[in-house]
Structures are given as C-alpha cells and as structure tokens.
C-alpha cells in the first residue's frame, strides 16, 4: 500500500510528537520521557545546511532554550522572534506515537504546542532556504523550556535578551491573533484560632468557623463585585478556590485553616490591588482579616499588547482576520512582554484539546498556520 503523502510541516510535527518532552517538574517518575534536549537536538539537525546560526541558553540544570538566527540582507534594525515552547504535559506512552486519521494528527503536544512549533519552524526553514530575506529584520526562532510549569525559559529569554519588536508565542489559538490574556495570582489565606478540647469547644476559637464566613463572602459577594470590572478583550476577572485545609482531628478545636485561591487578573490589577480589595471587603462585612501569603514564586501578570503596533498589524493582515482577541489562559507571552518585547500568541489547534487525553490538531489548520507565518516573515522590512 502506498503511504499517503503529507506536507513537510505534518511530517515535522509527527516527528516532534514522537520525541517525548514531558516537563520534568510535572513528572519526576518517568525520567526517560522528560526534558526538552532531544527536541532541541532534532530541530538543530533539521536546520542543518540552511545557514542559520544556533545558540543555546542555559535555563535550568540540563534544560536549555535553543535559538536559531536568520540575519537580514543589510544592517539589523528590527527583530522578530518566534517563541514556541518545547515541553509538554505528561501523557500515557501511546500518546507519543503520533497517529494521522481523518485529517487530524493525534498525540501529546499535537496542539500544545508542537503544532505551533512545527508551523513556525517549517516557515523559518523555508525562508532560510528560499528567501526572500528581509532587508533589515533579524528573525529569531527560540524553542523555550518549561512553559507548562514555571515559564523559566521565557523568563530567562526576557531577562538576558535579545529583545525584539515582536515575539509570537505558540499556543493553540485556532489561528486567531491573541494580544491579551489574563494573569494568574495564587494566594493563600490563613485564619488562626485557639485549640481546645473537642468536649468544651466554648473554651477555644475555631479557625474553620472564621474561614467559613470568609468563604461565604468569596463565593457569594466577591464574584458579583468582579463582574463589574471588565476588559474589552478579556471580560471580567475570576476567582477559583482550589483547596482547603484546616484543623487536626475531630476532638480538637481547629486552630488553623488555609484556603488556596487562583485569582485570574485583567490588565490594571496586580497582587497589591487584589489583596487590598479583599481586605476592604472583609472589613466591610466585619469578618476576621486572614493572613495573606503569595503561593507562587514568580509573577504571572496579564498580557495586554497594543494591537496597533506595526508588526502586530502586519501579522494580523497575514491571518486575514480583522481584529485581535483575548484568552483566559496564561502563556509565555506575558513574561516576554514583561521583559520589554511586545508579545502576542498564535497557533493552530484549539485550547480545548490542550492537555486533554486525546490531543489532536487539524492538518489543514497546521498548514494554514505555516503559510500565515511564512507570509508574515516574507513581508518583513
């Protein structure tokens, strides 16, 4: 039987999916399928003979970003970066054997985000091979580590450079151009009580009871308060209470209780403003003021890139859509933007398939993503 013929980008994606690159911070018991090095090695072999320079950027032990550079014909006046991440979330072993069926490619990373990586890298290699080279714009493809955990790769790139006029983070956006996304603030709230014997609860002070009153406010009043605040592309901020812990055992009055919050922020909100509004709300309702602890070591701020920037506009024209969009999930675009490079998010596939057991991407969309990026790169100044 003759093998069906697939586009280069499809073959590239198929190869990338078959190289497991599970984020080591998410799966420590399967060392054989973790780490991004093998993907980086594959990409550098793939680009052999195209005259692009390759550089590695140490990020974490045994984990490095990989940077491919394509110089313009003349002096460098602008720079554009393609910045997909190389890590994927854990999956069963069979998910690393890509399958093509009904015009879709199935496998871990197919849409998050090896689909974007394949589309970006194939466009980059096509341009390197066939031109036309931009006159003044350097093109940089950066394969990043650790997006799915702490975004150490994009944070490092943002810190040490290089900077650019635009960075395109790869995520499954269904080929829409994303210029805004929410931030994510993890807060822990703690109440304290006084322990006493369970038979004489009147002698103690129950930390769980205090927390229960705070919870009622967080579930009932706070969402209404958040609904009043909106961003044109993102809508309203949200709150999820993801964990509660408290007390020791049934016959002891609980002397401590903690809850863990994931507060999705919109532009204009930050750690301080969120803490302050919660404190004010608790005060208003005469509730005990809990202790606030930030439970993540790195900031995850919202993204709000100006859609009118010339490079954003020319990418928008390449997508043949009329406006840019917002999404609620967090991406590498935010740390990159914090470092001073305007960043957007773009790629084939749907976020509803990302991290799903049965992850897939439509091959037609994959081809379109490649064509859009190539078209954009070919028109750079």
Measured distance CA(356)–CA(108) in Å, rounded? 8
In whole angstroms, how close is the CB of 381 to Zn ion at the nearest point? Answer: 30
In whole angstroms, how close is the CB of 203 to Zn ion at the nearest point? Answer: 53
Which is closer to Zn ion, CB of 225 or CB of 325? 325
In 193-251, beta strands by DSSP E: 238-246
By CB under 5 A, the residues from 259 to 288 that bind Zn ion are: none
- H or E segment and range at residue 228: none
In whole angstroms, how close is the CB of 329 to Zn ion at the nearest point? Answer: 8
- Only one of the segments 48-56, 91-99, 106-114, 192-200 lies at the binding site for Zn ion (rule: CB under 5 A); that segment is 106-114
Q: Answer yes or no: are the C-beta atoms of 133 and 70 closer than 8 Å.
A: yes
Applying CB under 5 A, what is the total number of residues that bind Zn ion? 3
When asked if residue 112 is in the footprint of Zn ion (CB under 5 A), the reply is yes
- Only one of the segments 20-28, 88-96, 111-119, 284-292 lies at the binding site for Zn ion (rule: CB under 5 A); that segment is 111-119
Measured distance CA(112)–CA(349) in Å, rounded? 8
When asked if residue 113 is in the footprint of Zn ion (CB under 5 A), the reply is yes
When asked if residue 87 is in the footprint of Zn ion (CB under 5 A), the reply is no
Q: What is the DSSP letter of 70?
A: E
In whole angstroms, how close is the CB of 265 to Zn ion at the nearest point? Answer: 19
- Only one of the segments 4-12, 59-67, 164-172, 239-247 lies at the binding site for Zn ion (rule: CB under 5 A); that segment is 164-172
Local structure of 58: helix, strand or coil: strand
Q: What is the largest CA-CA distance in the chain?
A: 83
By CB under 5 A, the residues from 328 to 357 that bind Zn ion are: none
Non-local (6+) Cβ contacts of 145 within 8 A are 36, 59, 60, 63, 64, 65, 85, 86, 87, 152, 153
Measured distance CA(359)–CA(377) in Å, rounded? 29
- Find the radius of gyration of the CA atoms of the chain: 24
In whole angstroms, how close is the CB of 164 to Zn ion at the nearest point? Answer: 20
In the chain, beta strands by DSSP E: 53-60, 63-70, 78-83, 99-101, 104-106, 137-143, 166-170, 178-181, 183-192, 238-246, 256-265, 291-294, 303-304, 325-327, 343-346, 360-362
In whole angstroms, how close is the CB of 212 to Zn ion at the nearest point? Answer: 37
Residue linked to tokens 């439970």: 295
For the beta sheet containing 104-106, the strands, ordered from the edge strand earlier in sequence to the opposite edge, are 99-101, 104-106, 360-362
Sign (positive/negative) of CA torsion 240, 327, 89, 84?
negative
Non-local (6+) Cβ contacts of 131 within 8 A are none
- Only one of the segments 56-64, 126-134, 166-174, 196-204 lies at the binding site for Zn ion (rule: CB under 5 A); that segment is 166-174
Which is closer to Zn ion, CB of 113 or CB of 341? 113
Which is closer to Zn ion, CB of 65 or CB of 113? 113
Which is closer to Zn ion, CB of 122 or CB of 331? 331
By CB under 5 A, the residues from 170 to 189 that bind Zn ion are: 171
In whole angstroms, how close is the CB of 110 to Zn ion at the nearest point? Answer: 12
- Only one of the segments 126-134, 168-176, 210-218, 334-342 lies at the binding site for Zn ion (rule: CB under 5 A); that segment is 168-176
Which is closer to Zn ion, CB of 165 or CB of 332? 332
In whole angstroms, how close is the CB of 119 to Zn ion at the nearest point? Answer: 14
Which is closer to Zn ion, CB of 171 or CB of 304? 171
Which is closer to Zn ion, CB of 170 or CB of 290? 170
Which is closer to Zn ion, CB of 171 or CB of 367? 171
Question: Interface with Zn ion by CB under 5 A: which residues?
Answer: 112-113, 171
């Amino acid at each position: 039987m003759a093998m069906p013929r697939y586009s280069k980008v499809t073959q590239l994606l198929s190869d990338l999916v078959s190289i497991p690159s599970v984020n080591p911070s998410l799966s420590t018991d399967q060392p054989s399928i973790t780490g991004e090095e093998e993907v980086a090695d594959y990409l550098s072999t793939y680009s052999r003979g195209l005259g692009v320079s390759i550089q590695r950027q140490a990020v974490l032990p045994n984990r490095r970003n990989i940077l491919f550079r394509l110089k313009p014909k003349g002096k460098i006046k602008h720079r554009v970066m393609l910045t997909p991440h190389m890590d994927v979330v854990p999956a069963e072993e069979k998910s690393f054997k890509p399958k093509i069926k009904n015009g879709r490619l199935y496998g871990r990373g197919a849409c998050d985000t090896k689909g974007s990586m394949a589309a970006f890298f194939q466009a980059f290699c096509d341009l390197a091979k066939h031109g036309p080279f931009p006159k003044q714009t350097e093109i940089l493809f950066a394969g990043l580590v650790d997006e799915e955990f702490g975004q150490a790769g994009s944070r490092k790139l943002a810190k040490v450079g290089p900077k650019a006029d635009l960075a395109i983070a790869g995520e499954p956006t269904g080929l829409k151009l994303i210029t805004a996304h929410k931030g994510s603030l993890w807060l822990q709230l703690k109440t304290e009580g006084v322990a006493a014997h369970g038979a004489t609860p009147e002698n103690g002070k129950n930390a769980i009871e205090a927390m229960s009153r705070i919870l009622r406010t967080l579930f009932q009043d706070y969402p209404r308060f958040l609904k009043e605040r909106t961003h044109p592309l993102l809508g309203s901020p949200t709150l999820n209470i993801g964990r509660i812990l408290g007390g020791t055992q049934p016959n002891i009055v609980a002397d401590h209780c903690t809850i863990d919050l994931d507060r999705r922020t919109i532009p204009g909100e930050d750690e301080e403003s969120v803490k302050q509004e919660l404190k004010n709300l608790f005060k208003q309702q005469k509730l005990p003021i809990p202790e606030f602890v930030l439970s993540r070591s790195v900031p995850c701020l919202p993204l709000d890139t100006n859609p009118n920037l010339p490079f954003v506009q020319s990418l928008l024209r390449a997508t043949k859509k009329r406006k840019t969009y917002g999404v609620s999930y967090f991406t590498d675009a935010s740390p990159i933007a914090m470092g001073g490079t305007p960043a957007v998010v773009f790629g084939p596939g749907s976020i509803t398939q990302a991290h799903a057991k049965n992850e897939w991407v439509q091959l037609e969309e994959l081809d379109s993503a490649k064509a859009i990026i190539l078209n954009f790169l070919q028109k750079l100044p």
